[in-house]
Chain A
């Protein structure tokens, strides 16, 4: 029999994976491209609604909807990037904030218009529900799945950005745009693809999140604060950092609720402030 602390750790990591998937895209766009995208969770919401609609109206299997959640969010983000965002890459942070908050407002209104304000029901396949008993601990099946997805995505991302030609181009374009252009790298395209990747991941995260947290048009705003916390605690542009930060935030949230529920609402903010005071650039960040 394992003591409850292992259960708390596992739940915390699973919750962390959810936060990780939602926020890693922002870490990429903010950290690598220096673009403040407060509409990031709106892309997560697109993925979530696409998944729900495919399940509800077309009776798709939950797993089959996931690639489409990724693709639809990525696709919409390319359109937005080409038409609006790229014009502001050199603008001040504040103009970027204004634009992306505006887009988030629009997305919330659009979601309410198209899908209504009700909570969307999600029907998971029955084998994803419930839990298995492992040495006296309840391990939620869906949470195991979340952890697995989180780990796979991390590995894929790190491999892509560190060990592929595309990754090298992204890093080059970020470090010195002019030089990268001089070397024949299509910087515009690289940025567009990076952006689509980040938003697609948010879409995937959104689709995976609905089983745990539900979905209504306010999704675009509710998780913004959590995403910002993960990105800043992890350190900008660091995938490993976001991963570690998401786990830390997830575990401290769950542990706080389990052991000291009186601190329930405070704990993740306390953790964030403490980490940032100790390491202003975040756990794995190079610059703040």
Chain B
């Protein structure tokens, strides 16, 4: 997080401008996301699943990193998006963007409705209510197997080419391009959002929920808004997964998915825009490599990775790194 340096006072406008300026490292990051197309074409499928998970983590970062809402049930929106896109594709038509729109809409409506509940609670209660609502949805999807396919998964999802031209191919060129493109657009939106006065207000809520109304910012209204936006983005991420894999299974709504994305975000560094992106990439690549070497006990090494990161780099990889660079600059 950028902290105001009292030695260099500036107008709010210049502060906001400075916040939203693109740095060289950021541009390099996004250019690097294009590398798999040429360097690792056989890893594109993994790359697109990383992009989808990164988008999901970004959506969680909005509420957790910026508004301080810890959710253990965020997979609810991911899953809603996935099922909406999947069912829409199966029964209406297979054009991808309209499918994503439906996913965003359904997740957004449910997110908005549940935001009235969410905004009333804090701390453990909030975590458990999000968890409970998520698990209820998971059970509902299992029960409604006539619609969702239940535990066998939704079958018969057949997606049309993107823009009517780019067919989803075996290698995953289209899938990765599609997922990356949507991730980038959502990222631009999020970046803009958190560098706006609204974003500042959210950080204020995170730091002190009760004091914000005193300076004229209605904490609950802000929380409802950001929760809805976060639900929409999570829904889009789920929608992309359904479309690129042409199936939806109950695990999109599972507790494991909620917990995994939380772990990835915290691993990368919550409240840092790129935290979820880095966390998702590190976690999924580590998992892929470890399980390639040792299919039976790879999670031992994932566990070690998490413990080592916490012990050496508090506040996640990005948090730890920025602390290290700050120390390095000082000396």
Contact = CB atoms under 8 A, between A and B. Distances in A.
Interface of A: 30, 84, 87-88, 91-95, 97-99, 101-110, 112-113, 225, 228-229, 231-233, 236, 265-266, 269-270, 272-273, 276-277, 280-282, 288
Contact of A269 (B70, B135, B314): B135
Interface in B296-314: 296-297, 299-300, 302-307, 309-311, 314
Contacts of B316: 94, 98
Nearest to B308: A102
B61 to A, nearest CB: 12
B278 to A, nearest CB: 14
Interface string B127-170: 11101110110011011000000000000000000000000000
B48 to A, nearest CB: 25
Given A101-B263, A270-B136, A91 B125 contact: no
A265 B139 contact: yes
B310 A228 contact: no
Contacts of B299: 105, 108-109
B266 A95 contact: yes
14 contacts: A84-B307, A88-B310, A91-B310, A92-B315, A95-B314, A97-B263, A98-B306, A105-B299, A107-B303, A113-B297, A225-B135, A232-B127, A277-B129, A282-B125
A167 B314 CA distance: 32
Interface of B: 70, 117, 120-125, 127-129, 131-133, 135-136, 139-140, 142-143, 255, 259, 262-263, 266-267, 270, 296-297, 299-300, 302-307, 309-311, 314-316
Nearest to B256: A221
B128 A103 contact: no
**Which among A232, A266, A282 has the greatest number of chain B C-beta atoms within 10 A?**
A232
Given A98-B306, A102-B305, A113-B297, A288 B135 contact: no
Contacts of B123: 288
Contacts, number: 116
A83 to B, nearest CB: 10
Given A102-B305, A102-B306, A272 B132 contact: yes
A276 B129 contact: yes
B133 A273 contact: yes
A34 B289 CA distance: 35
A56 B122 CA distance: 47
A232 B125 contact: yes
